[in-house]
Amino acid sequence: MPADLQYRDKVAVLTLGEDENRFSPDFLDTLDAQLADVEQHAHALITTGIGKFYSNGLDLEWLGANGSRLPWYVGRVQELFARILTFPLPTVAAVNGHAFGAGSMLAVAHDFRVMREDRGFFCFPEVDIKIPFTPGMAALIQAKVPPQTAVEAMTTGRRYGGAEARHATLVDDTAPEAGVLDNALARVQPLLGKDSGTLGAIKSTMYAAVVEALRSTE
């Protein structure tokens, strides 16, 4: 479960946890509740992790024991992506460590990304673990990164370190471990006070096709 939700003035800092932060159903339920609180009380959202991982994405152990619920589970995960993508506040992923698969997609769904510069990988390993992207997942990635970056990241499974991820525009900036959250906080400061209704409407228009793909049941 998400370990902590704190407010720094009007900025919500949602710490995903201190393990691999995989998307179990309980994790998704808790995250939904936390995000509802953020919408009511904050002017910006930052997500981060503790230690080695930002998020390793799908809970493959849970899926292995609940294979018949795969469509429901993927729908829940993609609804999270759609919610973050169109969140009515400025959002930054402070990527403190490894972000793999759906964990990377969660980061990509934010408005901006800051990554630790010296350790951790940003990776879409689907081609190597033989799990094709859903149409919604592919649309999300392709909407947020340059076309050639999407080709390389999605078809090769390349693991990008911080500097490489920044060069490829997978992330917007890098920082030392102790400065990742501070960088994210500085990035949202000039954006505080934007009208949430207007911002949410703009994002919903910008990403209408992506949201439709993410919410498709096909």
Give Cα separations from 130 to 35, 66, 155 (angstroms): 32, 19, 11
pLDDT at 154: 98
Domain count, the chain: 1
pLDDT of amino acid 136: 98
pLDDT recorded at residue 217: 66
The domain of 29 spans: 4-215
Which pLDDT score, from 0 to 100, does residue 212 have? 98
CATH number of the domain encompassing residue 60: 3.90.226.10
Please give the pLDDT value at position 158: 98
| Residues of the chain predicted below pLDDT 50 | 1
The tens digit of pLDDT for each residue in 82-95 reads: 999 999 999 999 99
Identify the pLDDT of residue 134. Answer: 97
pLDDT for position 3: 60
